[in-house]
A and B are shown apart, each in its own frame.
Chain A
Amino acid sequence: MKKFASLFHDLDGMTKTNDRIDRLVSYFREADPEDSIWVCWFLAGNRIKGAIKTGQIRAFVSEKVNLPIWLVEECHDRVGDLAETISLLAGSMGSARSLGLNQTIRKFLLPLRGMDSDDRKDLLFEVWDHLAMEEVLPFHKLLTGGFRMGVSKGNLCKALARVGGVEPAVIAQRLAGSWTCDDLSMQDLLNPADNHHESINRPYPFCLASPLQEKADTLGQLADWQVEWKWDGIRAQLLTTGGGSGMLWSRGEESIEESFPEILECIPHLPSGVCLDGEILAWGREGLRSFSRLQKRLGRKQPGPSVQKKEPVRFQAYDLLRIDGEDLRALPMSERREQLEKLIQSLPNYLPLGISPLVHEKDWASLENRRKESRERGVEGFMLKRMDSKYESGRVKGCWYKWKVDPYVADMVVVSAQLGHGKRANLYSDYSLAVWNENGELVTVAKAYSGLSNEEIEKVDRFVRKNITGKFGPVRGVKPKLVLEIAFEGAQASGRHKSGVALRFPRINRWRKDKKIEEADTLETIRGYAGMNETTFTIEGVKTDSDGNLLLF
């Protein structure tokens, strides 16, 4: 645990990405491989689930250090981070345990999952007595889940690639999907031989698009770009692994085939060793449906036939990354597209598997004009993919761009606040935002926590602390005074907020110090964005445009 603890604290103190990568490399070179693989597992975004609940560990620590539970909660509130709070309170003066990371996890963390409350308590009390001071925080970080330390998966891959002399993309693929430290070793991970067989069971790291920040015509000839609509669904890769079986992986690299059995039904019709990149969309007979319809299928494992019928979905393919087990990612986009079209055309058309149509326009100006159709079509704008681009791992500038429609904006009032996390752990930086309803009341429509500068956050924090009107668990009611301009991608009906509306991707555009709360927007305006002011909409048949794009709504 000592080497890991020192890795943890070093990473925690670093502010530059390259320093972090160097530090990881040196850790992987000197640490026991059995410990290293855990570090990879955590940094790949995995966490030990169900080891302990927040309330329980707070109760244990309260008993251990003989402080009332309310005071432990007060401390948690101030510190923001649970692992850090527990560490500061239980922080022991023990001498370093000689156990390694792997042993510590297997002996003190994994067993917690199956234990009853008393055994858990005994085990944790033992840990608290023995951990050395510098081990306390890393231990609790692992216990409560989050160990990110500012290292992205991509940077983890870079570090491992340097250690093993293997391409980062190969590492990324080996780290993708779900795996445990029992079935993947450092040796497998760093194996210089590219195992052909292993690859067809795994998704590829997703190629990500950068937002287009310059004018579109700075991208050169439109003819060099493949243009598609930007779908508003769930990004996923559909894999066939042979023998009629396959998988569906989300961008979060969770396997999600259980939630979408009808998409899995496409698999027997596809050749083996295929990997398709695309978007899962809510899709009825009339065509594309809104994201809120798709949400009815999310998080629903093994949906029954009635849900499948009422809320149908479809896989809209836009890239072909592998066929017959052959990796196509190095081919230019245009060639992959050609192969994708051939493949989709060969399929029976009753399958819930479509292809993302291309948008053809003569120049950037007319394309920009077409972009205005986005909202009506239920899409988020355009995707621009360079015709000659490879399928990269992660976000590589200059290959793929998302050219989104401008967001909606509205002025809203901060009505409550909560302490943030990470860098903002002890600042009131998460805000609930409200607009005026018909009765002249402020009703919440969104929560937002990004967009202000550090300086502004500190100012808001000071304001909040002076203007608390009530406590509701970790939430503090705040005297309505601050007006923020909020940007968001859409609105939809929702039971989560009192207003009956929820916003998609709300974020703070700026602080409207010039505005009084009376000038904030109304609920009616927001409902208008959600299309909720109209009573019904009727759809007659299927409309398509000259490119065969479905016209929606």
Chain B
Amino acid sequence: MLELRQEGLFCPAGGFFIDPRGKVERAVITHAHSDHGRPGHDSYLCSETCENLLKIRIGGDALIESLPFGEKIKIGGAFVSFHPAGHILGSAQIRVEVNGQIWVVSGDYKPQADQTCEPFELVKCHGYISECTFGLPVYRWLPEQTIHHEINTWWSQNAQDERVSLLFAYSLGKAQRVLAGLDETLGEIFVHSAVFPFLEHYRKAGARIPDVQKIERGKEYDYQKAIVIAPPAVEDSTWTRKFRNAKKGFASGWMAIRGARRRRNLDRGFVLSDHADWDGLLNVIKGTGAEEVKVTHGNGDALTRYLQEDGINCSVLAGAGLRGEEEE
């Protein structure tokens, strides 16, 4: 019903690919991160809230159709519907039904509460293809309020010490989630230009995004007491050099492990992830009631063995190439 081809995961009955790597005619996209929604396909289908974000990423000329969450359409011999994955705004699990057999492709997901996107929906199915970026029990997330509080405390301390707070967070999803938790009374909020274009769509969808100042090339700003949100890609660039005196933090699930933070020479790591943690993975996978489970990327071996020992028919979907690490 789903098979792995050179270009990615393919549904023969519907003639479409899900989050394909290679160029294809018909791509069904789980979410707008660049390792899932790539440019260059002939046509796209995604969730309604995903559409505008995807356009920013792959260009406005692409042929994109969208579908509200929960609405079923028929593509060839397959019924397809999108169900919230709770990863970022518009992120979807894709439910595919052929002859009464139901498979769900999770994309990236998190069952944990996140005020900036649609809450995760558990979908019953026969087969579940799950991400497992954080597939080890050392990854367990605290509630986001706790992390937001940590970030605000850090910011406020830095402001007191007259240091700029430079917080790295992926430009789509994580940055908005961080912004939504910031206490605006502490000081001015700046964002890198890569973060900015997504904000209006988050606001439109109802997320509480505070007023921010976009940092534009060649302009001077007063960063006193400010927090600056920037994508981690600029961490070692000249852009970052203007914040010489800044305290640097990074918001990511990878920060759960000290080595990851210390290696980057960061002052602080905030364990804020948009993926399921260990318990989240187990609850979801078991909750779907799936008879067959396949896991992609991350530490698939450990999760697979653990589930197998628990009597669940689970295996690693080798070579699916659905990597989520860049965008975590």
Contacts and interface: CB of A to CB of B under 8 A. Distances in A.
A80 B138 CA distance: 12
B265 A15 contact: yes
Contacts, number: 60
A75 B138 contact: yes
Contact of B256 (A65, A88, A427): A88
A186 interface: no
A68 B306 CA distance: 8
Contacts of B299: 74, 78
A89 B259 contact: no
A425 B257 contact: yes
Contacts of A14: 267
B26 interface: no
A424 B306 CA distance: 27
Given A13-B267, A15-B267, A424 B138 contact: no
B204 interface: no
Nearest to B259: A425
B306 A78 contact: no
Contact of B305 (A12, A70, A85): A70
A81 B256 CA distance: 13
B268 A13 contact: yes
B219 interface: no
A84 B138 CA distance: 9
Interface residues of B, number: 19
A330 interface: no
Interface in A49-75: 65, 67-68, 70-71, 74-75
Contact of A74 (B136, B258, B265, B267): B136
A79 interface: yes
Nearest to A80: B259
A79 B138 contact: yes
Contacts of B265: 15
Interface string A25-61: 0000000000000000000000000000000000000
A423 interface: yes
Given A68-B309, A89-B138, A74 B302 contact: yes
Contacts of B263: 423-424, 427, 454
A422 interface: yes
Give chain A's interface secondary structure class: helix
A81 B259 contact: yes
A89 B305 CA distance: 18
Contacts of B140: 88, 91
B260 A426 contact: yes
Contacts of A71: 136-137, 302, 305-306
B258 A89 contact: no
B203 interface: no
Interface string A402-444: 0000000000000000000011111100000000000000000
Contacts of A427: 259, 263
Interface in B262-300: 262-263, 265, 267-268, 299
Contacts of A15: 265, 267
Interface string B49-63: 000000000000000
A67 B259 contact: no
A80 B256 CA distance: 13
Contacts of A84: 257-258
Given A15-B265, A15-B267, A68-B309, A79 B257 contact: yes
Contacts of B256: 88
Interface in A448-472: 454
Contacts of A81: 258-259
A424 B265 CA distance: 12
A458 to B, nearest CB: 8
A88 B138 contact: yes
Q: Which of A13, A65, A426 has the most CB of B within 10 A?
A: A13
Given A13-B267, A15-B267, A422 B137 contact: no
A75 B139 CA distance: 10
Given A13-B267, A71-B306, A427-B263, A89 B137 contact: yes
A70 to B, nearest CB: 7
A73 to B, nearest CB: 10
A80 B259 CA distance: 8
A422 B263 CA distance: 9
A481 B258 CA distance: 30
A13 B261 CA distance: 9
A454 B309 CA distance: 38
A49 B44 CA distance: 62
Contacts of B258: 12, 81, 84, 425
A84 B260 CA distance: 12
Interface string A308-325: 000000000000000000
B262 A65 contact: no
Interface string B119-136: 000000000000000001
Nearest to A426: B259
Contacts of A75: 136-138
A426 B256 CA distance: 12
Contacts of A425: 257-259
A67 to B, nearest CB: 6
Given A13-B267, A65-B137, A79 B259 contact: yes
Nearest to A16: B267
B319 to A, nearest CB: 12
A106 B194 CA distance: 53
Contacts of A74: 136, 299, 302
A422 B259 CA distance: 6
A65 to B, nearest CB: 7
A346 to B, nearest CB: 54
Contacts of B309: 68
B257 A67 contact: no
A423 B268 CA distance: 14
B268 A67 contact: no
Contacts of B137: 65, 67, 71, 75, 88-89
Contacts of A422: 259, 262
B151 to A, nearest CB: 14
Nearest to B258: A84
Contacts of A89: 137-138
Given A13-B268, A15-B265, A85 B138 contact: yes
A70 B302 CA distance: 9
Interface in A4-29: 12-15
Contacts of A454: 263
A81 B136 CA distance: 15
Contacts of A78: 136, 138, 257, 299
B300 to A, nearest CB: 12
A65 B137 CA distance: 10
A78 B137 CA distance: 11
B179 to A, nearest CB: 23
A546 to B, nearest CB: 53
28 contacts: A12-B258, A15-B265, A65-B137, A71-B136, A71-B305, A71-B306, A74-B136, A74-B299, A75-B136, A75-B138, A78-B136, A78-B138, A79-B259, A80-B259, A81-B258, A81-B259, A84-B257, A84-B258, A85-B138, A88-B140, A88-B256, A89-B137, A91-B140, A423-B262, A425-B257, A425-B258, A426-B257, A426-B260
Q: Which 8 A-B pairs have the closest CB atoms?
A: A425-B259, A88-B138, A423-B262, A75-B138, A74-B302, A426-B259, A423-B263, A75-B136
Given A68-B309, A84-B257, A425-B258, 19 more contacts: A12-B258, A13-B267, A13-B268, A68-B306, A71-B305, A71-B306, A74-B299, A78-B136, A78-B138, A78-B299, A80-B259, A81-B258, A88-B137, A89-B137, A91-B140, A422-B262, A424-B263, A426-B259, A427-B263
Interface of A: 12-15, 65, 67-68, 70-71, 74-75, 78-81, 84-85, 88-89, 91, 422-427, 454
